Amino acid sequence: MSRVVLVTGASRGIGLAIADRFAALGDKVAITYNSTPPSGNHLAVKCDVTNADEVEAAFSKIEGEFGAVEVLVSNAGITKDGLLLRMKEADFTSVVDTNLTGAFRVAKRATAGMVRARAGRIVFVSSVVGLLGQAGQANYAASKAGLVGFARSLARELGSRSITVNVVAPGPVDTDMTRALGDEKLAAFANLVPLGRIATADEIAGVVTFLASADAAYITGAVIPVDGGLGMGH
């Protein structure tokens, strides 16, 4: 099996771990980055997901090199934390624009080819915070909750074309995003997790590749928690 896989926001962190997993399976992997060109073996394309022209250009480049995207992992995401009373509107809209509208831009572009092929896999990387909420992350939680409704709508629209659409909802994962919080806050987060630790990026990647595998052909519209039990019951 050598599918064309696109992982957005995969210059580092969870996205890069996902890309590495697909490459190890023998897939042709394209990754996008925003600011930092990554080193490594994947086809790396500059693409700010908030810019529709860059999304279009990235897909054209990937299709030219590999053919139509068969597996899309929409992973690019940012945080701009702050309590509501201090949160600037720009901090709210830019997080939603990247995390949710960015997912819309890439999913819409990828779906055209998948509908033609009558096959495809889409996985959105959300967060446990989208289900639980998090003080200081109203913008981020709203964007991640929005992905659930978006994905489930696509699952209904695209199911008849054998395209599955699912969501992975990680808890805290060891990446630059969480390292920015500092050791003390990270340790406090780990204490809240029933498994007592934060995840590795590879632990998220394994679930994403499963959702794109033949074994997951009958799973669509699902939200899979990969959170050490943090969001249990939600």
Q: Calculate Rg over the CA atoms of the chain.
A: 17
Based on the residue annotation, tell me whether 218 is a catalytic residue of this protein: no
CB 26 within 8 A of CB 214: no
Please tell me which residue in 33, 92, 140, 150 is annotated as part of the active site. Answer: 140
**CB 170 to ligand NAP: min, Å:** 4
Angle formed at CA 227 by CA 89 and CA 82, multiple of 5 degrees: 20
Cβ distance to ligand NAP smaller for residue 54 or 63:
54
- Amino acid in the structure at residue 157: E
Considering only residues 23, 25, 43, 50, which one is a binding residue for ligand NAP as defined by CB under 6 A? 50
Q: How many residues bind ligand NAP (CB under 6 A)?
A: 31
* Pairing, β 71-74 against β 120-125: parallel
Binding mask 60-79 for ligand NAP (x = CB under 6 A): ---------------xxxx-
Helix spans in the chain (H): 13-24, 52-66, 89-96, 102-117, 129-132, 138-158, 176-179, 183-192, 201-211
Considering only residues 6, 29, 30, 49, which one is a binding residue for ligand NAP as defined by CB under 6 A? 49
Check residue 12 for interaction with ligand NAP (CB under 6 A). yes
Q: Is 2 exposed, middle or buried (0-12, 13-18, 19+ CB in 10 A)?
A: exposed
Q: Could you say which residues in the range 145-204 bind ligand NAP, by CB under 6 A?
A: 170, 172-173, 175-178
Backbone angles phi, psi at 82, to 5 degrees: 170, 150
Stretch that binds ligand NAP, among 47-55, 60-68, 114-122, 151-159 (CB under 6 A): 47-55
Contacts with ligand NAP, residue ranges (CB under 6 A): 8-15, 32-36, 47-50, 75-78, 98, 125, 127, 170, 172-173, 175-178
- Known catalytic residues? 140
